Structure 1
């Protein structure tokens, strides 16, 4: 059997949650996993990033300017989409944005050259994106019923809808509202997992092409390398876009609950 034939493609292995063990948790139903480890790494990176921007220098340095630009961007998003009341919800919108952004970027880091430090993208797990989406949706429901009571259900009756069409329009509006957390979580989950699978598969093409020792194999490896470079550049863009989209939709959904638009 050739060396190329021995290389097996398993692009889903990178998403497998594995227990890292630890005597502290022995005998308990709890496990410290690679997902938990990388979530702690993400949170530590966020704390470090924010700590560097907590300075109040009259002439801000690059670090402080970066933090202020991110916080100003999210604050502007909340005020634009929700209005003056958006200040109340800026902390949560900023939290989901910065957590998703850092989680996506940390999963792209080239730590895989050391097998024990293989990066794990926590946003590639539907349980993580689902929890974020459920929290956002819960805020929408709590705000809606707290501010408007049962009048919140008027959100499902578009203005100007003819009476005979209400039995048809109201269920459609209700279903579209209820699928919001699912679509919010699924969009981020699919975007992260798809790009990582592409990179993984074409990475194996490079290895198999080189191991083949043939001109065609080298050509395939070169094409695959160029493709991976392009996909990685696109993935970096997707990391930021998905964080932005999640935060933007969260602010728009909160706006619906606040203003019943």
Structure 2
């Protein structure tokens, strides 16, 4: 099988889903640029997989003011880049029933990591990808962004809902502008066994790293979805949402009908 992508920038590759997907891409012939905050983790990855297959860049995606220059440096050094994976993410519990316990600075960091940084990074890499024969933007979202069932993480759920809406709208903007060669793909994982849930990052959990689907199993199933070429897909329990009678399939029908109606209704009011 030919490599899925030519060269992929993987954001949030220090651990978890980002690291696992980067390794899978290398195993199937794609060159990768791994990005994260922890240089030691990135260097270990490069040593394991070889400098011919991977290189590391230390960058914090919450540095919104630095994103434009970061993207420019990447596209200048690697003009063959054709894909970006957005896998940076954090999850925190917030108990609004006890407002005295809230640290809203952490809430802001979570929103920036999970949503705002992805918006800035998308804007920064689109000019380069529009010039490529094909471009791919792959977002690691969350089923909780569709069905926010875990009430202990209201801000995480909201950040993923915002990301989903952003992707839906920008995808259609690109198609309408003639840039349909850029594919925006949204992946909806279940809970996956990563450090996202461990006690260091979520002190109110015990043995949180054991929660969910094993990382290896998830990565293989996610890769299968990427190979299929679906614009959006879930892995695990969320797959039912995308069946013919599923919640998200039905909601997408409403979205498409509503989008067409609003486009027609607004046409005479928009400046040419």
TM-score over 0.5 for the pair: no
Greater per-residue strand proportion? 2
Report the TM-score when normalising by structure 2: 0.28
Greater per-residue helix proportion? 1
